[in-house]
Amino acid sequence: MKINALALNCSLKKSSGKPSNTDRLLDKAREEYAALGVGFMSLRIADYNVLPGTKSDMGEGDEWSAVLEQIKACDILLLASPVWVGHHSSLAQRVIERLDALFFEKALQDEATGQYLTYNKVGGAVVTGNEDGAKASAFRFLAVLSNMGFTIPPNAFTYWVGPAGSGPSYIKAGGPQHLFTNRAMKMMVHNTAFMAELLKANPVPTNIKALSASAKEESDSGAQTFLSQ
Amino acid sequence: MKINALALNCSLKKSSGKPSNTDRLLDKAREEYAALGVGFMSLRIADYNVLPGTKSDMGEGDEWSAVLEQIKACDILLLASPVWVGHHSSLAQRVIERLDALFFEKALQDEATGQYLTYNKVGGAVVTGNEDGAKASAFRFLAVLSNMGFTIPPNAFTYWVGPAGSGPSYIKAGGPQHLFTNRAMKMMVHNTAFMAELLKANPVPTNIKALSASAKEESDSGAQTFLSQ
Amino acid sequence: MKINALALNCSLKKSSGKPSNTDRLLDKAREEYAALGVGFMSLRIADYNVLPGTKSDMGEGDEWSAVLEQIKACDILLLASPVWVGHHSSLAQRVIERLDALFFEKALQDEATGQYLTYNKVGGAVVTGNEDGAKASAFRFLAVLSNMGFTIPPNAFTYWVGPAGSGPSYIKAGGPQHLFTNRAMKMMVHNTAFMAELLKANPVPTNIKALSASAKEESDSGAQTFLSQ
Amino acid sequence: MKINALALNCSLKKSSGKPSNTDRLLDKAREEYAALGVGFMSLRIADYNVLPGTKSDMGEGDEWSAVLEQIKACDILLLASPVWVGHHSSLAQRVIERLDALFFEKALQDEATGQYLTYNKVGGAVVTGNEDGAKASAFRFLAVLSNMGFTIPPNAFTYWVGPAGSGPSYIKAGGPQHLFTNRAMKMMVHNTAFMAELLKANPVPTNIKALSASAKEESDSGAQTFLSQ
């Protein structure tokens, strides 16, 4: 069964003729996935009009559904972002907010088990910036993806940043030849690919509905009426 | 094959007659694991003299090796911590610093593949506090554990905190009957147990040494002499 | 000299007839400022088309300049945000990204001293959420505002969140009567008002241009061509 | 009136003959402060037996009081730390935990106003690491110090890290000649020195006790019995 990876590039810039720094690093991941027979697609969030909100459909003009369809179709999701003021981009946070719907909308959950549609998919993170903030960004991505139903294998992120303070970015600084970043990228690709195949053959059996019912029995239900995270 | 879970309770207090708040929540996890046939052991880090440093042996008086032996033996590691000033405890950060040795010490890595000894183990997080800061703590734990070789399944943490500002803690506030916390705990237990069994039967094949060699070939090795994260 | 406070409410929702939870808490701050003779204005970022980017003018359709004009005019800036997935909103991060221009655009800096236009202004933070993540958000706001030239007095934030897991929001949960939140709000208001008056009478004299020149003399300028943070 | 700065170096290593990387950067701050007539003292936390806990006296063997006395005596406090796994050190978190007592212990608060003893003192941050994580660390320090009563002036931190992945540390990498770090250090020194003098001549008048009483009047006191943060 063919495995497919999807990268969501949360650069602040729309795609145009010239590649972004994050794109360049994603291209390396694409090649590495290809060598393993894994498909790869990259979307630029800035190319879509993703409206603010936490529902999967925010009404007129909202283009999130096009992104969500690709997330549904993928086996591996890589959140990719530049760093601004020590932090992932507002567009990356926008993606996370829109995924919040997983916790609330029945249409995004399995009817029998209550699993979110992200269960049995694998998560990873790719970050580029010209200065410090990559780990804060990547670590947040990995944890949020796990919270949202993805499985995170070992060493599931890669990043590039230059030394302290602003300076040349990934491409200009020779980042594509940076050993640490290339090595981490390869580990991410191999580990996410392995885990995606493993979960495809062995899906998580957890029945969230049954566990919720069991939790209700031992809880003071009067104190709380909402369940989702 | 029997699966075993290990919780490292990073409370600032040594164990004594009375249970800590975090212990009480861990006890619930213990029961849930037991129902699945998974063994469970909990250690209090404050009971050990874990010296500052990033090596696996920091010399005279250091008792980290006793903790490390239990980590080696477990299949599931739960990092557990109280919240202080919006953040996990200094003892939890101490544990993370000591695990940094995984990246540097050959004795903690597989000779053939270079995998850290944490590969094929599963990570999770448990946090209790009387006020805000649980997600910041739990999210950091999950990401760091992934970075350090553990696999993080979906919904791999539980937490309890009260409303804004100081107030009664978990036990006193009736936390053991809190629906959200109990439900998240059950999801964490079932997902970590499933993943631990799956990885035991299907270990990650990634050869880090081979990937490092391959990364070196396409990198400007002159620019960098260290490899580890 | 009259002091004026500006709150940027980074709720994901546009303003409409009904007040947001964050608005309700800001209303309390407004009353407290009024008692001190401090003016107060609140803007909803979602009401403006603030385009992605890090320049103060991102071209056609960008409405950031209307917000920036109010920032220029204020003495106290409060960043206000809801919490989503343990984190401030994408619109708050958008505001921070747009303020990044302070580091790069000469028109936003004093010609003689190089100080950003934010120097001698005071920063604070207001966060509401139905669950954990307020401190992570508020702490980031305070630090970023300091990084961007604002002065942060003691106890410069207030927040409200409910106990672990989703539940009723600030207004519905009786947050306006929550002692901790009200007390912290009063401390924030009094401390920011005092500091704003103090800085108006005693502006920061630091000459960034002179310090940059001095730093260049003791640095290896060949290694770095960019200066800004 | 002479102004005095205190740096708490939270390196994991005890002081010995050779300077730590963080010490070397602090030495530069010392010189810059001296040029302004500001005194400077640096303590290594690892040299003291600072026990885990959140009280100002944790009993037998605890040496925190020696540190606390220096904090009481200083006008400017710089929290200084290395970066481990993208994060400030466990010893820095230990210092923060011990300062939590400010919120609870009457002996650390002014009897008339309830102000913590840190009011009218100024905070800053200094971070060195061989890889990414400096902003996450410094930003947390600045926000926590503000939360704990310190005032944070503009541009109150400096940091040095190398490019992505492990590599040579500050001294070995030529960090003392790094323009960005030197410039940020000078801005931090000048801004903290100015603010310390300003607050010495114009102390914050906020009466926390009166504000607490006022907050109680408009709050549902039944819902909450604890006040401190």
| Among A33, A56, A20, CA closest to A43 | A20
CB-CB neighbours of D221 under 10 Å: 12
Q: Across the interface, which of B157, B187, B212 has its CB nearest the CB of A183?
A: B212
Q: What is the 3-state secondary structure (H, E, C) of chain A?
A: CCCEEEEEECCCCCCCCCCCHHHHHHHHHHHHHHHCCCEEEEEEHHHCCCCCCCCCCCCCCCCHHHHHHHHHHCCEEEEEEEECCCCECHHHHHHHHHHHHHHCCHHHECCCCCCECCCCCEEEEEEECCCCCHHHHHHHHHHHHHHCCCEECCCCEEEECCCCCCCCCCCCCCHHHCHHHHHHHHHHHHHHHHHHHHHHHCCCCCCHHHHHHHHHHCCCHHHCCCCCC
What is the signed CA dihedral for B83, B84, B88, B93, rounded to 10 degrees? Answer: -150
Angle at D176 between CA D175 and CA D177, to 5 degrees: 85
Residue A56 contacts residue A107 (beta carbons within 8 Å): yes
Contacts of D35 (CB under 8 A, 6+ apart): none
pLDDT band at C133 (very low <50, low <70, confident <90, very high): very high
- Decide if pLDDT at A73 tops 60: yes
- Flag whether pLDDT at C40 surpasses 90: yes
Task: State how far residue D144 is from chain B, nearest Cα, in angstroms.
Answer: 8
Instruction: Give the pLDDT confidence of B24-52 residue by residue, as tens digits.
Output: 999 999 999 999 999 999 999 999 999 99
Determine, for residues B180 and C166 on separate chains, whether the beta-carbon distance falls below 8 Å.
yes
- The distance of A15 to chain B (nearest Cα, Å) reads 27
Residue contact B142–A138, C-beta within 8 A: no
pTM of the predicted structure, to 2 decimals: 0.96
Dihedral angle of Cα C19, C25, C29, C32, to the nearest 10 degrees: 100
Query: How does pLDDT run across D128-140, given as a tens digit for each residue?
Result: 999 999 999 999 9
For residue A88, the one-letter residue type is H
Name the DSSP class of C176: G
Q: What is the spatial distance between Cα A7 and Cα A70, in angstroms, rounded to a whole number?
A: 10
Quote the CA–CA distance of A30 and A32 in Å, as a whole number. 5
Cα–Cα distance for residue pair A74/B85, rounded to 1 Å: 39
Q: What is the DSSP letter of B20?
A: P
Predicted pLDDT of residue A17:
66
Instruction: Quote the tokens at residue C8.
Output: 């940027």
Does B182 have pLDDT greater than 50?
Answer: yes
Pick from A54, A48, A51, A66: nearest CA to A11: A48
Average model confidence (pLDDT) for chain B?
Answer: 94
The answer to whether B72 and B64 have CB atoms below 8 angstroms apart is no
- The tokens of D171 are what? 């001294």
Partners of D85 on chain B (C-beta within 8 Å) are: 96-97, 100, 144, 147
Work out whether strand C39-44 and strand C157-160 pair parallel, antiparallel, or are unpaired. unpaired
Q: How many CB pairs under 8 A join A and D?
A: 62
Against chain A, the chains showing at least 3 CB pairs within 8 Å are B, C, D
Task: Report CB contact under 8 Å: A12, C147.
Answer: no
* C215/D186 Cβ within 8 A: yes
Amino acid letter, D22:
T
Over the stretch A110-153, which tens digit does the pLDDT of each residue have? 999 999 999 999 999 999 999 999 999 999 999 999 999 999 99
Instruction: Identify which of B52, B131, B229 has the shortest CB distance to residue D90.
Output: B52
Whether residue B223 is predicted with pLDDT greater than 90 in this model: the reply is no
Region C55-80 average pLDDT: 98
Q: CB C229 to CB A166 under 8 A?
A: yes
Whole-complex ipTM? 0.95
Q: Do residues C77 and C6 make contact, with C-beta atoms less than 8 angstroms apart?
A: yes
For D128, name the nearest residue in chain A, comparing CA atoms only: A164
- Strand A122-128, strand A157-160: pairing: parallel
Give which of D36, D200, A165, D82 is closest to C147, Cα–Cα: A165
Of A93, A166, A229, the CB nearest to C87: A93
Q: Quote the Cα angle for C99-C101-C102, to 5°.
A: 80
Which residues, including other chains, have CB under 8 Å from residue B77's CB and lie 6 or more apart? B5, B6, B7, B8, B71, B118, B121, B122, B123, B124, B145, B150
| Contact across the interface for B183 and A211, Cβ inside 8 Å | yes
pLDDT in tens, D151-200: 999 999 999 999 999 899 999 999 999 999 999 999 999 999 999 999 99
Residues of B in contact with A149 (CB under 8 A): 154-155
Q: Which residues of C touch chain A, with CB atoms under 8 Å apart?
A: 12-13, 46, 52-54, 84-91, 93-94, 96-97, 100, 103, 130-131, 140, 144, 147, 163, 165-168, 224-229
Amino acid A220: pLDDT: 80
Nearest chain B residue to C169 by CA distance is: B163
Determine how β-strand C39-44 pairs with β-strand B4-9: unpaired
Q: Name the closest residue on chain B to residue A140, using Cα atoms.
A: B139
pLDDT tens per residue across span B87-137: 999 999 999 999 999 999 999 999 999 999 999 999 999 999 999 999 999
Backbone dihedral region of A67: left (phi > 0), alpha (psi from -120 to 50 degrees) or beta?
Answer: alpha
